[in-house]
Structure 1
Amino acid sequence: MHPSPPYAVRLADEIARQIQVLNNHLAQLPAGQATQVLGRILDAEDGLLGRVTSLVITGSHFAKDHAERGALPAEVWLALGRAANQLDDIGLDLDEHADTIRALDTGPTTGAAAVQPAASALVVRRRR
């Protein structure tokens, strides 16, 4: 008989499963509810994105300590550090649009006379 995995491993597996459930729900929610969920997911500090970023940062600290002792290759620490930095940058980029996402949830406040937003061509911008 195999020993049961440690609690933290079971927790990580459960969180991954819950994220998949959330993904499935998000794909099927009406626009207003999806906007609410998306706003919470993308919150750079308290949302899912912020928490995952924090988790990767913690993993980077762990890897640094182990790399300094020779237990892990330095490349592992560097890769986790890069991932943490990139996630943080993504969070900052998305944070610029948080108000727009929240505004979709509230909708127009002026009633029936409100002008519907015009569709625009999708333009890909990349900032480096």
Structure 2
Amino acid sequence: MPHPTPHLVRLADEIARQLGDHLAILPPHEATQVIARVVDPADGVLGDVTHLVSVSSRFAKEQAERGALPAEVWLALGRAANELDSIGDDLDDHRETLQHVSDRAHAGPAKPSAPVPLVVRRRR
């Protein structure tokens, strides 16, 4: 039986490529729906990637303890998992807004909202 790793690597590349390609050409209401789903920390792609990096960190820890991987790899994966989790929490605050915009577009033509100046605010 052939080893599934090369297939899984190609699959991951293809999923990322297709999501990016399709998202770029979707109508705005569909794009916001996809984005809301992707950033959903529980059921979306971001949540799944966070889980994958977390599992990878545990694997790297075991390998580092055996001396097969440098400890820095385990630490980097652990930091990445924590950062992704934090990013997921930040984005989860906006998931409902994205979904609302998508749902509102299905309800029919609405009065266009006025453009607003973009102000970056960051929580600490």
2:120 counterpart of 1:124 = yes
- One of 10, 29, 32 as aligned partner of 1:32: 29
- One of 24, 39, 43 as aligned partner of 1:42: 39
Matches within 5 A, 1:45-124: 45-107=42-104, 115-124=111-120
- Deviation of 1:110 after TM superposition, in Å, equals 8.3
Distance 2:106 2:11 in 1: 40
Which AA in structure 2 matches 1:122? L
Question: What is the count of residue pairs matched by the alignment?
Answer: 124
- Deviation of 1:111 after TM superposition, in Å, equals 6.7
Gaps of 5+ in 1: none
Structure 2 CA distance for partners of 1:46 and 1:108, relative to 1, 3 Å: closer
Q: Percent identity?
A: 52
> SS state of the match for residue 97, structure 1?
helix
User: TM-score, normalising length from structure 1?
Assistant: 0.86
User: TM-score, normalising length from structure 2?
Assistant: 0.89
2:8 counterpart of 1:11 = yes
What is the root-mean-square deviation in Å for CA atoms of aligned residues? 2.2
After alignment, is 101-110 or 74-83 more displaced? 101-110
Q: Which has the larger radius of gyration?
A: 1
How far does the alpha carbon of each residue in 1:31-78 deviate from its partner, in whole angstroms, 9 at most, with x for none? 111111111111111111110110000100000111112111111000
Where do 4+ consecutive residues of structure 1 move more than 4 Å? 108-112
Gaps of 5+ in 2: none
2:20 counterpart of 1:23 = yes
- Deviation of 1:5 after TM superposition, in Å, equals 7.0
